[in-house]
Amino acid sequence: MYSQALDGKVAVKSESMDFLEEFQKRIDAEEKIEPMDAMPAGYRKTLVRQISQHAHSEIVGMLPEGNWITRAPSLRRKIALLAKVQDECGHGLYLYAAAETLGVSREEMTEDLLEGRAKYSSIFNYPTLSWADIGAIGWLVDSAAIMNQIPLCRCSYGPYARAMVRICKEESFHQRQGFEIMLALCRGTDRQREMAQDALNRWWWPSLMMFGPPDSESRHSDQSMTWKIKRFSNDSLRRKFIDATVKQAEFLGLDVPDPDLKWDPDLNGGEGGFRHGAIDWEEFRRVISGFGPMAKERLAARRKAWEDGAWVREAARAHAAKTRSANRRDSAVSS
């Protein structure tokens, strides 16, 4: 019954109807799937795509913020930003490791990123022009990431869910340090308030795009929901983000750059919620396909890091091999 949905292909021969139904029963019973369990090829493929994109996003996400570490306005801000960027690196590592349990190697994933075959979050293809951007990223981008990630802690694939639990625990400081930066600017001079407003103006729409295309166009959503890889639709998470964030912007005294934004008391089953204006999906498609303002720089920076580090990886392996053979010689002599 699910065979037709496997990335649009007919299920391979070994994936009998019985096997697929049995698998779906395990998913429906909220059983976690673990690395060595039998799973449909489509499930594996979907997870490899999603987890590796997620990992790439963490790694590329270090670049726009790393750009400001040396220019942070105080030591307090600098140590916080350093710790945050170090966390992103760790998050990338947890996620690559989770993807590797599905049979794809770290090197393959890295090469897919460097060759431009793999995607990463469109948000990191925008430039960080001022210090306020670091505040806006922590506040908006990390808030959006948390909203996306909390449901992933309950994802049906065990290693991904476990990685997400660690990540979510660590992520909440990112969001708070960002809001604190915004708050300091908003309580500062007129010029600082302008900086904060300018950052919100530039980061608001890209943040909304982080939740992915609207439900009506999302290619992978339905099957991912059935497999419980995804728990909520793109649009519902986006609305949740807007409802939470607009109130925070009000607290900061900043204007959300959406003239069509308005409160609708009938949304969310009568609890009320915000309706937002049209999102420029053309821009989203352009940026996610590698045409964002910073896309070339981001990949060039990753390529440089990978190539410059090649001799280190090589030397470490050579040293390990040498030590192993020296140990073997020693134990041969002593026996």
Partner 1 sequence: MTESTPLWEVFIRPRNGLAHKHVGSLHAADAEMALQAARNAYTRRGEGNSIWVVASADIASTDPDRNAEDFEPALSKVYRHPTFYNIPDGVENL
**Residue 170 is a binding residue for partner 1 (CB under 8 A):** yes
Residues with Cβ within 8 Å of residue 55, at least 6 apart in sequence: 91, 92, 93, 95, 96, 99, 109
Please, which residue, 103 or 188, has the CB nearer to partner 1?
Answer: 103
Please, which residue, 173 or 232, has the CB nearer to partner 1?
Answer: 173
Which residue from 315, 325, 197 is spatially nearest to 252, judged by alpha carbons? 197
**Residue 323 is a binding residue for partner 1 (CB under 8 A):** yes
Which residue from 64, 42, 101, 15 is spatially nearest to 295, judged by alpha carbons? 64
Size of the residue set binding partner 1 (CB under 8 A): 29
**Residue 87 is a binding residue for partner 1 (CB under 8 A):** yes
Helix (H, G, I), strand (E, B) or coil at 104: coil
Q: Which of 17, 129, 300, 316 binds partner 1 (CB under 8 A)?
A: 316
Sketch the per residue contact string, 19 through 48, with partner 1: x for CB under 8 A, - otherwise.
Answer: ---------------x-xxx----------
Q: Which of 304, 313, 328, 329 binds partner 1 (CB under 8 A)?
A: 313
Q: Which stretch binds partner 1 (CB under 8 A): 45-53, 85-93, 182-190, 192-200?
A: 85-93
Q: What is the DSSP letter of 278?
A: -
Please, which residue, 25 or 166, has the CB nearer to partner 1?
Answer: 166
Helices (H), the chain: 17-28, 41-60, 62-66, 75-100, 106-114, 131-136, 142-149, 158-186, 190-209, 221-226, 234-252, 281-286, 295-308, 310-334
Q: Which of 93, 118, 267, 279 binds partner 1 (CB under 8 A)?
A: 93
- CA dihedral 29→8→150→56, nearest 10 degrees, is 140
Which parts of this chain interact with partner 1 (CB under 8 A)?
34, 36-38, 83, 86-87, 90, 93-94, 97, 100, 105-108, 110-111, 162-163, 166, 170, 313-314, 316-317, 319-320, 323
